[in-house]
Amino acid sequence: MKEKIDAPILTGSITVPKIEENASRNQRCHHASEDHMVRLGFPGTKPVDWNKKALKRMRELLKRNRSLRLYLDICVRCGSCADKCHYFLGTGDPKNIPVARQELLRKVYKRYFTIEGKILGGLTNAEDLTEEVLDEWYTYFHQCSQCRRCSVFCPYGIDTAEISMAAREIMDSIGVGQKYCNEVLGKVYDIGNNLGMSGPALRNTLDFFEEDIKETTGVDVKFPLDVKGAEILLVSPSADFFASPHVDSLVGYAKVFHKAGISWTFSSYASEFANFGMFIGSYSIMKRVATRILDEARRLKVKRIVVGECGHAWRVGYSFWNTLIGPFDFVDTRYPVPQHICEFTLDLIKRGAIRLDKSANDEFTVTYHDSCNVARATRMGNKDGGQFEIPRALIREACNKFVEMPKNVNREKTFCCGGGGGLLTEELMDLRVKGTLPKAQALKNLMESRQVNLMVMICAVCKAHFTGVLPHYGIPMETVGGIHQLIGRAIVL
Amino acid sequence: MINILVYIVGAIFILGFIYKTWIWGKSAVPLRIVGTPGPKTFPGVILRIMGEVFLFKSLFRGNKLLWLGGWIFHIAFLFIILRHLRYFFYPVPIWIIELQIVGIYAGYIILIPLVYLLLRRWVVDRNRYISTPMDYITLFLIIVIAFTGILMKEYIRVDLVDVKAFILGLLTLQPSIKPQSVLFLIHFLSVLLLIVYFPFSKLMHAGGIFFSPTRNQRDNAREIRHVNHWNNIIN
């Protein structure tokens, strides 16, 4: 069934809607099939005693994650987060208010795990875990992109992402999984990347890029694959291999390595930086997906691991890898693991190892979209706020005309593109379009007032999502680009 | 009767508070989930948390009017509590005496943010949606406490000698007779109710903020390995 896409009209300013109950209630993503579930070690179907099993899983998670219990305990429902979620701003559905989303899990927590809820019951909003509640969980915990914007404004730093990850994990444990993420993870298990692209197919694609660059520039820029003993293992989101505008950044990476004269390689076994294990809240799956990269780095005996433009994966890499699969004592310890391609390239520019010709990008007036995971869950470089400054420094090196987004949608206050957190799936298109509203308003404003015609970003999900969604707002998909796309155009070969 | 109640409430509060923080403290923190930009050093973490505790910095970013209301409410509450210490000491330390005036004013001022906090839950549709009955009841209870306090202070005076003897009696485990004022009893029992509800409710945000991983962690995941103690049982 094809849902009607109903894109709001852009006015250039962000307003808070009146609440409209159940406005996005029918935006529900497809369930994972039995095969997809079993492949990941989850039950294939929902057991008869699912209720008991869900509560058991919840009890385990409460012990394992302080954040979960604490954040369920201490929210005062002050409402500071109430007008901060892009899905609420876009849909007006009150269950997309961060605290209301948390409340879906909290009311069950109260009912079964707290004295307050057991004694005072409905006065505290405590509620039994029924089919109906489970259905709400499935709907609204898959309308959270885990972008952490609400957390920025919360007096206690309550992070709805932690809650929605836990809820998804509980649902997976009773056979109620989401198709998009779980299917993708199965492909990583079986083939090594989200696309399910085999080694030979990957080699073919890379050959094509080599020929293409040779044709347009006359330079032999190589895309090495599975080269043992290379200095650097480059792991990028697999979308970089085929999607547009992702490939343009991939070409940018290769040109940077070429000019820097450092030996590097892709891997066909670890051909995916993305790690959807985070989206579904599964520590063990996240670890297993990350381990592929560790194993490959050891096998290929590389000295450094550099990673491509990907937001959530940068969070997994920057914040979680060291815990999950560290310590990285077998690589060159002078470099951080992982090192972001932006850190890598800016360093080369500063040392004069590569040179850029800004005028190559003169046709663009560029703005930068801070991707949520990069902005609010990671850093780059050694300085505070490096996750903001390093990408911006690169953009300024690569073009003449750069315009900042307005403060309320920029840096740590950035809005999610609208497709993060495992929601980048067709059946949620209407929700995704609406979730893009705040950022689209800001972009539209810049396009009209400052003639911006390119918004660059360093996230594969953002790129794919915006390219699909912005046309619904009358903004051409060519407005979306990557930072290394700019670099690739400007680099003097 | 009321004497025993006070001891029970006191015990529940202290044990409940300790129990809750102990549960938080012993539950694992598997990953670095600090909200960035975040501090890289421990002093930086202290600064961040103090900024939240004393200045409500994140709330300031989120909602200026609510910040003002919330901040005035908490500061006024603090001064009111400090002022009440005069009933717990004999002789009364000089600094508590000096706080008397501020404390009295705070007693009046606190009604403004309280009414605001209550009204905003009603008036703004999204706040009404997210409010539970206990959110209103808690605010209402504090309003009753503040209101009866003001009444006793200014209009229907109670015998403070009785009150002080009663409190000191409780503290020294030599319970004396309770004051006869009905107003005092309402005030006092409301406070007991608030205290006994504290450890089981959202009021624990007071202790919880210190445990919040997005605020109390350092941003140093690449440099220093954060160890998850159950990492190795997961394969």
Tokens of B119: 């009204």
DSSP state of A194: T
Provide the whole-model pTM: 0.96
User: pLDDT category, B235, cuts 50, 70, 90?
Assistant: low
Residue B35 lies in a domain: no
Average pLDDT over residues A28-51: 97
pLDDT number for residue B90: 87
Residue A69 lies in a domain: yes
- Return the bridge partners of A305, or none: A233
Average pLDDT over residues B60-76: 98
Residue B43 lies in a domain: no
Range of the structural domain that residue B17 is part of: 2-25+62-216
CA-nearest residue of chain B to A159?
A: B214
Burial tier of A165 (Cβ tally within 10 Å: 0-12, 13-18, 19+) = buried
Residue A39 lies in a domain: yes
* For residue A156, pLDDT beyond 80: yes
The percent of residues in chain B predicted with pLDDT above 90, rounded, is: 86
pLDDT number for residue B174: 86
Cβ-count burial A89-108 (b if 16+ within 10 Å, e if not): bbbbbbbbbbbbbbbbbbbb
- Return the bridge partners of A402, or none: A366
CA distance A124 to A116: 7
> Considering only residues 6 to 45 of chain A, which have any Cβ-Cβ distance to chain B shorter than 8 Å?
16, 18-19
Give the Cα-Cα-Cα angle B143, B148, B152 (nearest 5 degrees).
150
User: pLDDT category, A4, cuts 50, 70, 90?
Assistant: low
| CA torsion through residues A123, A129, A131, A135, sign | positive
Look-up of token digits 């954060």: B226
Within a 10 A sphere around the Cβ of A2, how many other Cβ atoms? 7
Question: Is the pLDDT higher at A356 or at B90?
Answer: A356
* For residue B234, pLDDT beyond 80: no
CB A271 within 8 A of CB A237: no
Evaluate whether ipTM surpasses 0.90: yes
Within a 10 A sphere around the Cβ of B122, how many other Cβ atoms? 11
How many domains, in total, are found in chain A? Answer: 1
CA-nearest residue of chain B to A411?
A: B37
CB A438 within 8 A of CB A13: no
Residue B33 lies in a domain: no
Average pLDDT over residues A374-379: 98
Burial tier of A286 (Cβ tally within 10 Å: 0-12, 13-18, 19+) = buried
Q: Does A460 touch chain B (CB under 8 A)?
A: no
pLDDT number for residue A182: 98
Inter-chain CB proximity A75 and B127 less than 8 Å: no
**Which residues touch A446 (CB under 8 Å, ≥6 apart)?**
A367, A403, A405, A452
CA distances from A415 to A10, A70, A419, A437, A448 (A): 16, 25, 11, 9, 20
DSSP state of A406: P
pLDDT number for residue A3: 54
Tokens of A19: 């609440």
User: pLDDT category, A1, cuts 50, 70, 90?
Assistant: very low
CA distance A253 to A311: 16
Q: Which long-range contacts (C-beta less than 8 Å, at least 24 apart) are formed by B100-106?
A: B103/B79, B104/B153, B106/B75, B106/B76, B106/B77, B106/B79, B106/B80
> Considering only residues 33 to 72 of chain B, which have any Cβ-Cβ distance to chain A shorter than 8 Å?
33-37, 40, 52, 56, 58-59, 61-63, 66, 70
CB A146 within 8 A of CB A69: no
Inter-chain CB proximity B61 and A284 less than 8 Å: no
CA distance A344 to A1: 46
Residue B190 lies in a domain: yes
Residue A141 lies in a domain: yes
Tokens of A181: 């993420």
> Considering only residues 405 to 424 of chain A, which have any Cβ-Cβ distance to chain B shorter than 8 Å?
412-413
Give the Cα-Cα-Cα angle B46, B51, B55 (nearest 5 degrees).
155
Residue A315 lies in a domain: no
A292-312 pLDDT per residue, tens: 999 999 999 999 999 999 999
Residue A396 lies in a domain: no
Range of the structural domain that residue A116 is part of: 34-184
Burial tier of A489 (Cβ tally within 10 Å: 0-12, 13-18, 19+) = buried
Residue A110 lies in a domain: yes
pLDDT number for residue A72: 98
Residue B162 lies in a domain: yes
CA distance B199 to B207: 9
Look-up of token digits 């004069």: A352
CA distance B109 to B105: 6
Tokens of A281: 């809240």
Q: Does B226 touch chain A (CB under 8 A)?
A: yes
CA distance B166 to B174: 9
Residue B226 lies in a domain: no
> Considering only residues 61 to 80 of chain A, which have any Cβ-Cβ distance to chain B shorter than 8 Å?
62-67, 69-71, 73-80
CB A309 within 8 A of CB A369: no
H or E element, residue A429: helix A429-435
Q: Which of A456, A293, A310, A449 is nearest to A374 (CA)?
A: A310
Average pLDDT over residues B209-234: 94
Q: Which of A198, A262, A204 is nearest to A233 (CA)?
A: A262
Amino acid identity at A322: N
Contacts of A327 in chain B (CB under 8 A): 225
CA distance A205 to A199: 10
* For residue A108, pLDDT beyond 50: yes
B152-211 pLDDT per residue, tens: 988 888 888 889 999 999 998 888 888 888 999 999 999 999 999 999 999 999 999 999
**Which residues touch A96 (CB under 8 Å, ≥6 apart)?**
A24, A85, A87, A88, A140, A143
* For residue B56, pLDDT beyond 70: yes
How far is residue B86 CA from its own chain's centroid? Answer: 19
pLDDT number for residue B185: 94
pLDDT number for residue B158: 87
Q: What count of CB pairs under 8 Å joins A to B?
A: 212
Average pLDDT over residues A85-91: 97
How many domains, in total, are found in chain B? Answer: 1
B116-133 pLDDT per residue, tens: 999 999 999 999 999 999
Tokens of A396: 């300024």
Count the residues in chain A: 493
CA distance A194 to A191: 8
CA distance A369 to A392: 10
Left if phi > 0, otherwise alpha if psi is -120 to 50, otherwise beta: which for A451? left
CA distance A466 to A105: 30
Residue A157 lies in a domain: yes
Residue A465 lies in a domain: no
- Phi and psi, residue A49, nearest 5°: -95, 40
Within a 10 A sphere around the Cβ of A174, how many other Cβ atoms? 22
3-state SS, residue A456: strand
Inter-chain CB proximity B214 and A159 less than 8 Å: yes
Q: Does B222 touch chain A (CB under 8 A)?
A: yes
Residue B110 lies in a domain: yes
Average pLDDT in chain A: 97
pLDDT number for residue A383: 95
Provide DSSP, A105-169: HHHHHHHHH-HHHHHHGGGGT-----HHHHHHHHHHTTS-----HHHHH-TT---HHHHHHHHHH
Residue B194 lies in a domain: yes
H or E element, residue A298: helix A283-299
Q: Which candidate from B27, B62, B129 shows the least CB-CB separation from A62?
A: B27
Within a 10 A sphere around the Cβ of A224, how many other Cβ atoms? 17
Contacts of B197 in chain A (CB under 8 A): 116
SS (H, E, C) chain B: CHHHHHHHHHHHHHHHHHHHHHHHHHCCCCCCCCCCCCCCCHHHHHHHHHHHHHHCHHHHHHCHHHHHHHHHHHHHHHHHHHHHHHHCCCCCCHHHHHCHHHHHHHHHHCHHHHHHHHHHHHHCHHHHHHCCHHHHHHHHHHHHHHHHHHHHHHHCCCCHHHHHHHHHHHHCCCCCCCCCCHHHHHHHHHHHHHHHHHHHCHHHHHHHHHHCHHHHCCCCCCCCCCCCCCHHHCC
Inter-chain CB proximity B35 and A19 less than 8 Å: no
**Which residues touch A321 (CB under 8 Å, ≥6 apart)?**
A290, A328, A337, A338
